Structure 1
Amino acid sequence: MARFMGTETEYGISTPEDPYLSQIITSTHAVVAFAAVNTGARTRWDFENEAPLKDTRGFDLRRYRTVPVVDPNAMGVANVVIDNGARFYVDHAHPEYASPECDNAWDAMIWDAAGDVVMNQAVADVAELTQQGISILDKHDPCPPLKIYKNNVDGKGASYGSHENYQYSRKTDFEVMSQGLIPFFVTRQVIIGAGRIGLGEAGDTPGFQISQRADYFYQELSLETTLNRGIINTRDEPHANAVHFRRMHTIIGDANMSQTANFLKLGMTKLVMDAIEKGVDFSDLKLSTPVEDLRTISRDLSLNVKIKLVDGRELSALEILGIYRERVSATDEVDEKVIALWGEVLDLLAEDPLKTAHLLDWTAKWSLIKSYLDRGADISDPKLALIDLQYSDIDPAKSLYHALVRKGRMKTLVSQEEIDFAAKNPPKNSRAYFRGRVVSRFGESITAVSWQTMVLNLGEASAKISLSEVDGMNREVAGDLVENAETVAELVAGLSEHGVHVEGIRTQHNLQGEINKPHLH
């Protein structure tokens, strides 16, 4: 079975000319401006299949509360599905890019990086409209220039997520899956950490650490994503055929600028999940205090600290990751690339962590900061915190990460042309192909859309198309249907003729109540 995966990145956003302007307003400006300039239509999100409060452990908190109806045009609810099949929307006080579904880690890395292109385009669109004196939000002034950061902390005690999603079989025992992943999630930060100035949630203790997110987790398992976070998120919301699949909603990773770190984050996790589903036993790696170990490892820049296992052994993060690598196996060329790169990075980290400064985010950032410390700067100097922030700036002209790339000091795996292509085109091997191409060709006829559905406006009525199979409606299956249809009605007729499930035609009035349901994150 292909391991379909994708990412969700909540970007940091600021307005330097008006630092007190609400981030909910600025995020809404970004999404609505992008929609106005690039799509011509905003797409409502179909919340019918959303279940963010359903827990894999067998309970559903939704039945204990009354869910209000939210106006989809309200401030902070802006949403657009774009040509590459991704979702670009406002989540709390952040612009969020949820990438399209990919069937391998290499593609998932590329379509994740495409989110930076989308965000930069949104910044440019806001600037263009503001220059023309245009505000696309009622009762609000034009938006001042935006700055967007691919990071996870605001420096004031709050953290926002960079989530990963992996489809897996519902037949797989959740306890086995979660316990097999916890030691891996605790230790993989030495490869995928983004690096951070400041210790503690507020960052008020001077120091540098490996992970941006390590200080924000409090338990092993939790349904929460904003408070009392768990190393394993227990949300049971598969965004697919719920009879056959679950989704491992992973909230513990950092947002990566490095293509190597991002590729390994996705590829290593995929391989470990593959191994667990094949019956490989990782129970001997169970940690005694995993939540405490998250912070311990994040603060050890030498990578020499040993953490205690339940069986009494003490192993370093590198040793534990080495054991995981020994037990996984490749099924294709992408897996082989992951295993080879995984081994290369572990060897370099063992020699000297800074030997990976051309590959990984945290060591690249630490190398920059350490050069100032070696010249006498103090770790509490605000200028060093600025280096931390500027590294994650997604503007190629301002970003320290992109400066390292231009100077040949940071290795990339794919070209900017490939990333630009992914920002405008969907992957071909999943339902994201159908979603993206229909958005591109018939965007103004889409009433609502979700990962599993698409509602098309046929004039006096609407048709709802089921997209529950993640590997269905890909280019091979739906390419000719989408590309050859001249009208949306012709597309719906063609889908029905080819056996695609299209629900009974319903009036716009009846449909309206279904698509105004809120998203509880």
Structure 2
Amino acid sequence: MTSRAPSRRVFGLETEYALTAQGSQMDAEQRARVLFEPINRRYNSTNVFLPSGGRLYLDVGSHPEYATAECDRLEDLLIQERYGDQLVQSLAGQANERLEGQKLHIIKNNRDQAGHGYGCHENYLLARSDNYWGQARSLLPFLVTRQLISGAGWLADDGSYRLSQRADQMWNEVANSTTRSRPMINTRDEPHAQGDKWRRLHIIVADSNLSQAMTLFKVGSVDLLLDAIEHGQDFSDLTLANAPKAIREVSKDLRGATKVDLADGRRLGAAQIQGEFLERLSQYAQTELDLDPWQTQVLNIWRTCLKAISGGDWEKVTHLVDWAAKKKLLQAYANRHQLAPNDVRLKRLALAYHDLDPASGLRTKLERSGALATFIDANKANCPTAPATTRAHLRGSLIEAAQGAGRLVKADWVNIKLEDGSAHQFELLDPLANSDWRVDKLLSELQSSQIDPFWQGTGV
């Protein structure tokens, strides 16, 4: 049988960050205003698309959020996600230079001390199909048990340690809202593309990851599973009886042995369910697919982590798995200082794991020492161009050229408009297209600062 490359799709992440202020009585809106001052001054907005192709904005609750550009390569996704982290942290650094006796911190986690949640949302492009609901629900057993590997870890108020910060905030399998009903998959039909051709799968159950390995696993595994599902692979025998109940049960067991109820009456542990998905997908990939090195790495990370964790040897994967890396730090600190599990100092250390400040946070130190694995050159994330192989390339190139010409361009995921009082605007409806003659024409004119009369009144 001739193998093929996995179906090409775009994917991306939206990360909501916590913004705290040390030595300050500023409320959330005031903190956000200070953070976004340079953005507001430059763009007269707190909702902007950037030359990276991604979007920076203030979300509900005054959370800064960065949405990566559309990616179809995992390396690009890692670069885009790290750029978002660095961008928001850079804004905090600039704010701290203006503040006296106060310091803003960007925290990449998913719940605050009061229990309020904020998320990491995943987006995947799907061909529009009558079987969308079946495709989405086929992923639920995987998403519920995925926290065994990709959970970011949570030190609960009672001192217990759990896999995920998000698990006990999920109340529905699927729903149209992202906040009120807290579903695992949001069903709002917003493809940001040609609506009769595409649909966007919006997964909102994940923890935010500090580990590049976990971001790679989190997105790469879903991408491959979607390929398998779209080509007829059946995972329906793993359907859970009650996914919201199961996700809470799974979060409390660091070995994935606690059994959860399946719809057919069987009971399986999270490690068993993950093993089923991994083995079936590996067999499918071996017989059907020609994987690139990044996709092969996804399966290797998955297998390595699952074997160690299910065997009780989580210490072997602390360089890959966020919850394991954080647990190792907490255990060592507690033992050194003879601390009770619910000691407030452990809470502070757990928070430091998620602090993006290189001075006060832990990720930079862990990566530099080799205690946390890296998969991309950090320099690539300092000021990235938009991914070259998707629609983001067109958007990012136009924004960069407009800025260079001193012009203002207004963009969203689909629309591009030059803000000069004329009709220099058009739609980019294909997320997989990285070339467009209209963009080439406008780029040439922007670079020469001469706008062709062709654009007047066309509205294309």
- Give the TM-score of the pair, scaled to structure 1: 0.80
Q: CA deviation at 1:130?
A: 4.8
User: CA distance change for structure 1 residues 488 and 8 in 2, over 3 Å: closer, same or farther?
Assistant: farther
| Residues 1:462 and 2:423 are matched in the alignment | yes
Q: CA deviation at 1:322?
A: 1.6
SS in 1 for 2:159: strand
- The match for 1:11 is 17
- The match for 2:314 is 353
Tell whether the 8 Å contact from 2:148 to 2:255 is kept in structure 1 after alignment: no
Alignment of 1:353-432 (within 5 A): 353-375=314-336, 376-422=338-384, 425-432=385-392
> Which letter maps to 1:412?
T
C-alpha separation between the residues in 1 aligned to 2:392 and 2:278? 31
- The match for 1:137 is none
Alignment of 1:13-162 (within 5 A): 13-18=19-24, 20-34=25-39, 36=41, 40-42=42-44, 78-92=46-60, 93-130=62-99, 144-162=102-120
- The match for 2:398 is 438
User: CA distance change for structure 1 residues 466 and 489 in 2, over 3 Å: closer, same or farther?
Assistant: farther
C-alpha separation between the residues in 1 aligned to 2:165 and 2:75? 24
Tell whether the 8 Å contact from 1:34 to 1:121 is kept in structure 2 after alignment: no
| Residues 1:219 and 2:172 are matched in the alignment | yes
SS in 1 for 2:103: coil
Q: CA deviation at 1:35?
A: 5.4
Alignment partner of 1:342 out of 267, 281, 302: 302
SS in 2 for 1:404: helix
| Residues 1:453 and 2:409 are matched in the alignment | no
User: CA distance change for structure 1 residues 491 and 326 in 2, over 3 Å: closer, same or farther?
Assistant: farther
SS in 1 for 2:339: coil
Q: CA deviation at 1:197?
A: 1.0
Tell whether the 8 Å contact from 1:100 to 1:426 is kept in structure 2 after alignment: yes
Alignment partner of 1:286 out of 208, 233, 239: 239
Aligned residues: 442
User: CA distance change for structure 1 residues 474 and 118 in 2, over 3 Å: closer, same or farther?
Assistant: farther
| Residues 1:482 and 2:443 are matched in the alignment | yes
> Which letter maps to 2:55?
R
Consecutive unaligned residues in structure 1, runs of 5 or more: 44-77, 132-142, 199-203, 497-501, 507-521
Q: CA deviation at 1:341?
A: 2.1
SS in 2 for 1:165: strand
Tell whether the 8 Å contact from 1:446 to 1:454 is kept in structure 2 after alignment: no
SS in 2 for 1:250: strand
SS in 2 for 1:236: coil
- Give the TM-score of the pair, scaled to structure 2: 0.90
Tell whether the 8 Å contact from 2:254 to 2:309 is kept in structure 1 after alignment: no
- The match for 1:178 is 136
Alignment partner of 1:316 out of 250, 260, 269: 269
Q: CA deviation at 1:350?
A: 2.5
Tell whether the 8 Å contact from 2:250 to 2:256 is kept in structure 1 after alignment: yes
User: CA distance change for structure 1 residues 41 and 130 in 2, over 3 Å: closer, same or farther?
Assistant: same
User: CA distance change for structure 1 residues 486 and 327 in 2, over 3 Å: closer, same or farther?
Assistant: same
Alignment partner of 1:233 out of 172, 186, 193: 186
Tell whether the 8 Å contact from 1:426 to 1:433 is kept in structure 2 after alignment: yes
Per-residue CA distance 1:87-112 (angstroms, 9 max, x = gap): 11111211111111101233212211
User: CA distance change for structure 1 residues 472 and 382 in 2, over 3 Å: closer, same or farther?
Assistant: same
Per-residue CA distance 1:204-238 (angstroms, 9 max, x = gap): 43311110100101111111211221122111111
Displaced runs of 4 or more, over 4 A: 128-131, 474-481
Consecutive unaligned residues in structure 2, runs of 5 or more: 1-6
- The match for 2:4 is none
SS in 1 for 2:375: coil
Once the two structures are overlaid, the 10-residue window that deviates more, 310-319 or 287-296, is 310-319
> Which letter maps to 2:302?
W
| Residues 1:261 and 2:178 are matched in the alignment | no
> Which letter maps to 1:332?
L
Once the two structures are overlaid, the 10-residue window that deviates more, 326-335 or 303-312, is 326-335
C-alpha separation between the residues in 2 aligned to 1:473 and 1:488? 23
User: CA distance change for structure 1 residues 399 and 480 in 2, over 3 Å: closer, same or farther?
Assistant: farther
C-alpha separation between the residues in 2 aligned to 1:417 and 1:171? 40
Q: CA deviation at 1:172?
A: 5.1
C-alpha separation between the residues in 1 aligned to 2:21 and 2:95? 12
Per-residue CA distance 1:411-458 (angstroms, 9 max, x = gap): 111121122142xx2111111112112222213533531100011123
Tell whether the 8 Å contact from 1:434 to 1:482 is kept in structure 2 after alignment: no
